[in-house]
């Protein structure tokens, strides 16, 4: 089943279901905001999120593009793709268990005002018993451009106190809260505000809580962000209820800091992520 849905305010998304999974993907930002396997939801979505053109959905997987973060002051935080309307190119029901959705954003007068390059950004979602996403950037300009990017994934968790993130032991990270470089010792537990960019990150990271285990596999990515706003920041954030920090953690497969890409003329660069999740109880 594949259906186009439109809210009263004109906000559009694709809803699809096959025999193993279902998903909802907004045209704004090519933003997936629900992925369910056997009725188990992988992604966190804020009950206070806006669903309107011009404001990014709070939750799901915002695509940070062509910048991750706010280090480049010439561009908005996390770039601009998450508030731009993509075109739905194709939905292919490959089999009973696999649906592929292709969305595209092309440079326009509007995008050139923010970032003066010609580009094509293609996003491919593979909806099956796993969720796979490819973000492919093609340079259509006459000069090279620099790219940082991320899948800013909000994972739903049973309780933040139960979260264990493994696979980053010994890795160096930039603590964005202090500006200091540190080394990870053992697994990651979240008991305060955490905002870190891990460098030379592993290809596989595992997130578990009491109920689920998610295996995160990324390709062409050597950086990963771990973020939870905790009590004070959460209370101040747009589109988030006060206690929301207990319900999610963001683990963002990225090209950030020194792991940036320089995309040459007529070159295409891809970032891939694959989420495999299973119920523990
Ligand atoms: C994370 C950043 O990736 O995104 C945080 O590391 C930031 O610093 C968070 O607060 C949310 O950003 P935004 O722009 O969606 O509110």
What are 47-83's pLDDT values in tens digits?
999 999 999 999 999 999 999 999 899 999 999 999 9
Distance 200 CA to ligand 1 centre (A): 21
Q: What is the pLDDT of residue 229?
A: 98
Q: What is the pLDDT of residue 57?
A: 98
Q: What is the pLDDT of residue 280?
A: 87
Positions in the chain short of pLDDT 50:
none
Q: What is the pLDDT of residue 279?
A: 87
Q: Which residue in 82, 99, 74 sits closest to 150, CA to CA?
A: 82
Alpha-carbon distance of 205 to 166, in angstroms, equals: 6
Q: What is the pLDDT of residue 116?
A: 98
- CATH (domain of 253): 2.70.98.10
| Domains of the chain: total | 1
Q: Ligand 1, residues 44, 57, 78: which to mutate, most atoms within 8 A of Cβ? A: 78
Q: What is the pLDDT of residue 86?
A: 98
| 222 is annotated as an active-site residue | no
- Summarize pLDDT for 191-207 with one digit per residue, the tens: 999 999 999 887 899 99
Domain that holds residue 148: 2-279
pTM passes above 0.95:
yes
| 144 is annotated as an active-site residue | no
């Amino acid at each position: 089943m594949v259906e186009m849905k439109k809210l009263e305010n004109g906000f559009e998304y694709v809803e699809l279901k096959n025999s193993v999974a279902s998903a909802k993907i907004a045209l704004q930002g090519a933003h997936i905001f629900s992925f369910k396997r056997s009725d188990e939801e992988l992604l966190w979505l804020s009950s206070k999120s806006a669903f309107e053109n011009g404001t990014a959905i709070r939750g799901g997987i915002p695509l940070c593009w062509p910048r991750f973060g706010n280090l480049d002051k010439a561009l908005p935080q996390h770039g601009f793709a998450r508030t731009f309307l993509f075109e739905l190119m194709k939905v292919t029901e490959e089999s009973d268990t696999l649906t592929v959705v292709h969305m595209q954003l092309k440079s326009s007068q509007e995008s050139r005002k923010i970032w003066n390059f010609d580009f094509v950004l293609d996003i491919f979602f593979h909806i099956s018993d796993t969720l796979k996403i490819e973000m492919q950037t093609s340079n259509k300009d006459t000069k090279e451009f620099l790219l940082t990017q991320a899948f800013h994934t909000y994972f739903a968790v049973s309780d933040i106190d139960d979260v264990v993130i493994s696979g980053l032991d010994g890795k160096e990270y930039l603590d964005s809260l202090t500006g200091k470089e540190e080394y990870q010792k053992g697994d990651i537990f979240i008991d305060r505000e955490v905002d870190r960019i891990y460098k030379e990150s592993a290809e596989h990271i595992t997130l578990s809580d009491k109920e689920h285990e998610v295996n995160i596999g990324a390709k062409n990515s050597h950086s990963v962000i771990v973020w939870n706003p905790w009590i004070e920041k959460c209370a101040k954030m747009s589109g988030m209820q006060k206690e929301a920090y207990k319900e999610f953690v963001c683990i963002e497969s990225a090209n950030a800091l020194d792991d940036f890409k320089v995309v040459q003329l007529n070159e295409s660069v891809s970032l891939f992520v694959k989420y495999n999740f299973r119920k523990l109880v």
